Amino acid sequence: MSDAVWKRGEVESPCVKLCTIHPETRLCLGCARSMDEIAAWGRMSAEERRAIMDDLPHRQAAPTARRGGRKARLKD
């Protein structure tokens, strides 16, 4: 059976199957969507999905700032 049969004319999911929600940002580390966006994805219109897809490159699922580590502990 051809994969073309299963293609649909919708915005595809950005899921990369690395589904872990960061505790601070509340975004998925794999696709950078919120839990609400992930849950509603199947019910969203193409326009809603496209808006989220356009915004994803501007999101940071995990903070990039260092939390201090050894250097911060040694300051005392």
Environment class of 58 (CB within 10 Å of its CB; exposed 0-12, middle 13-18, buried 19+) = exposed
What domain count does the chain have?
1
Residue 42 falls inside a structural domain: yes
User: 62-73 pLDDT, tens per residue?
Assistant: 988 776 667 766
pLDDT tens string 27-39: 999 999 999 999 9
Helix (H, G, I), strand (E, B) or coil at 6: helix
The reported pTM is 0.71
The boundaries of the domain holding residue 49 are 12-60
Report if residue 2 sits inside a domain: no
Residue 12 · residue 5 · CB < 8 Å: no
**Mean pLDDT, the chain, whole residue set:** 85
Q: Which of residues 41 and 10 earns the better pLDDT score?
A: 41
Asked if 54 contacts 62 with a C-beta cutoff of 8 angstroms, the reply is: no
Q: Is 25 among the domain residues?
A: yes
Q: Tell me the two tokens of residue 37.
A: 């966006």
Q: Is residue 47 part of a domain?
A: yes
